[in-house]
Amino acid sequence: MGKGEIGGHMANPEDCEKELADYLAKSFGMLKQCFEDAKLKDFEERAKGLSAKLDSCRTRAAKARGYSEAESATAPLEKELDAFEAAFEKWYDEEADDQSFFARVASLFLDIRLHLETYRGGAGTLGEAGGNLEKAKEECGRLNEEFKSHVQKFDSLAQQVAAKAGTDSEKQRAERITDMTSTMLRYLDINHEMLMTELLGPAGKEGALEKALRMTGSAQGEVSGLRSNAYHLNDEAMQEAAASASFSFFAYRGALCAAFAIQGGK
């Protein structure tokens, strides 16, 4: 495995920030490719420019202590993403009519934002922990609590929708959603505890990011389920709660990656 590619063995936490940045940059590449395939040169160039924007934030982000500082350090990138996405939507409204293309681009923008959260969670944890594994675990715990609070909010909104459901199909759908969220909440803490036990033994040969992605793969599926259910219900409050839950989950994942990297550097 090449350095920086997912799967490369993380020997130390210093490489972890770079690996997270490369992982984020890969998603810029996919957006660029999408515009290149569609022969939209301006947007292609703008997507190419995202890497430079990220690089300009990295020095400050690499020193960030905690998620909030990492978020602040990468605010210029997020601002550019907002402007870029708005420009694309404006162009689409005025000049295009291909729904599947629009959906693809929207999905790629979302991926970038989620991977940005992973970068923030990871970089912030690396900075806060300063090589100390116990501090990294604390940061993971804090981000897990943040994630849990958003899932609880979603669950509470889902219960309200279930209470108002009128037709049989509305009731069935509401029941499916509340079953899903109550199950997520039931096992959320124990899943976090189980992930923390991975930090007890030796690091193993697997790369930190690869391990974090693998061990949270099924949870990612559940989080996507929140978003798709909120979308189908067409409920704005639930869509917002689902989005917050997604972002906090990806930040947690980044923190986990940082913790694995610190473990590997011991």
Partner 1 sequence: MDAVDCGGVAYSSYCGEVAVKRKGGSSVKFGKASGFDEEMQLRQKQEIKDGDRITTGRKSFMTIMGHPQDNSMQMVCAYPESEFLVRTKDWEGEKKGEKQKGTEISKLELVRGAFSIYPAAAEVKIPMVEIKDTNKKKDVTFHYIVDILPDMTVVIPGCAMQVTAAGKSHETKPWFGMMGMTELMVTRSGMFEKKTEVDARVTMLSSYANFSTGLGGMVSGGESMMEYSSRKMEEGKKKSEEAMRQMPTDADLEQMRKSGKFSEAQIEMSRAMSKSMKESGGSGPAAAFGMLAAMDFSKLKDMPGITPEQRKQIEEAAPKMAEMQKKMKESGQMEKATAQAKLSEKYMSLAATDPVMKKRLAAAQQDNQSKLDAYELPPYPAPKEWARVK
The contact set with partner 1 (CB under 8 A) reads 179, 182-183, 186-187, 190, 193-194, 197-198, 200-202
User: What is the residue whose two structure tokens read 């949270």?
Assistant: 216
Token duo for residue 57: 């934030």
Token duo for residue 162: 């279930």
CB of 45 or CB of 189, closer to partner 1: 189
**Closest distance to partner 1 from the beta carbon of 166 (Å):** 22
Dihedral class, residue 244 (left if φ above 0, else alpha if ψ from -120 to 50, else beta): alpha
CB of 163 or CB of 200, closer to partner 1: 200
**Closest distance to partner 1 from the beta carbon of 256 (Å):** 16
Residue 115 to residue 105: CA distance in whole angstroms: 15
CB of 120 or CB of 192, closer to partner 1: 192
CB of 56 or CB of 159, closer to partner 1: 159
Nearest CA to 125 out of 139, 114, 146, 138 is that of: 139
- The length of the chain is 266
Token duo for residue 238: 């639930």
CB of 63 or CB of 186, closer to partner 1: 186
**Closest distance to partner 1 from the beta carbon of 183 (Å):** 5
Token duo for residue 229: 């259910």
What are the distances in angstroms from CA 85 to CA 35, 43, 81, 133, 146?
Answer: 13, 10, 6, 38, 27
CB of 76 or CB of 131, closer to partner 1: 131
Residue 96 to residue 102: CA distance in whole angstroms: 9
